[in-house]
Amino acid sequence: MAFEYKNLKIEKLTVIGAGQIGPDICLHFAKTFWKDKVEFVLVDVSQDALDTAKAKIEKKIAYGEESGAFKPDMAEMMRKSILYTTDYSNVAGTNLVVEAATEDGNIKDIIFKQVEKLTDDACIYLSNSSHMQPEVIFRNIENKGRCLVAHYFFPAERNPVVELVPGKETDKQITADLMGFYETIGKIPIEVGSSYGYAIDPIFEGLCELAILCLEKGYGSVKEIDAIAQKTLKQGVGPFTALNLTGGNPITNHGLEEMRKTHIHWFRSPKTLQEMVAQKGKWETAKRGEEVEVDPEKAEVLRKQFLGGYFALCSYIIDLGITNVNDLDMATEIALVIGAPFTMMNRIGIDKAHFLVREWCAEHTSFPFPKSLNNAMLNGGWKVSRIVCRKVKGIAVLTIRRPKVLNALNLGVLTELKEAIEKAENDRTVQGIVITGFGTKAFVSGADINMLAALKTPEEGYENSHTFQELINSIEKCKKPTVCALNGFAFGGGNELAITCTARIAKKGLPVVACQPEANLGFIPGSGGTQRLPRLVGVDIAAEILRTARPVSSKEALEIGLIDCEAENDLIEEAVDFANKLVSGEAQPREFMKGGSDAKLTPKAVNIGHLSKKIDDIMNRAIYEGIKLPLPEALELEAKLFGECILSEDMRIGLENFKKNGPRAKAEFVHR
Active site residues: 496, 518
From the list 466, 473, 494, 389, the residue with the least C-alpha distance to 433 is: 389
Helices (H), 14-70: 22-33, 47-67
Beta-carbon-side half-sphere exposure of residue 68 (alpha carbons within 13 Å): 0
b/e map 283-304, b = 16+ CB within 10 Å: bebbeeeeebebeeebbebbbb
Q: How far apart (Å, rounded) are the C-alpha atoms in residues 215 and 273? A: 11
Q: How far apart (Å, rounded) are the C-alpha atoms in residues 615 and 646? A: 10
Pairing of strands 161-166, 147-152: antiparallel
Q: How far apart (Å, rounded) are the C-alpha atoms in residues 652 and 139? A: 62
3 state DSSP class of 164: strand
Q: Which residues pair with 503 in a beta bridge?
A: 483
Beta-carbon-side half-sphere exposure of residue 500 (alpha carbons within 13 Å): 27
Q: Which residues pair with 451 in a beta bridge?
A: none
How many residues appear in the chain? 672
DSSP string of 539-565, one letter each residue: HHHHHHHHHHT--B-HHHHHHHTSSSE
b/e map 191-214, b = 16+ CB within 10 Å: bbebbbbbbbbbbbbbbbbbbbbb
From the list 321, 310, 301, 371, the residue with the least C-alpha distance to 345 is: 310
Q: How far apart (Å, rounded) are the C-alpha atoms in residues 161 and 328? A: 11
C-alpha 317 chain-centroid distance: 20
Helix (H) and strand (E) counts in the chain: 28, 19
Cβ atoms < 10 Å from Cβ of 279: 9
Q: How far apart (Å, rounded) are the C-alpha atoms in residues 464 and 638? A: 12
Q: How far apart (Å, rounded) are the C-alpha atoms in residues 509 and 280? A: 53
Asked if 348 and 379 touch (Cβ cutoff 8 Å), the reply is no
- Give the CA radius of gyration of the chain: 27
Helices (H), 479-528: 493-498, 518-521
From the list 106, 169, 95, 97, the residue with the least C-alpha distance to 128 is: 97
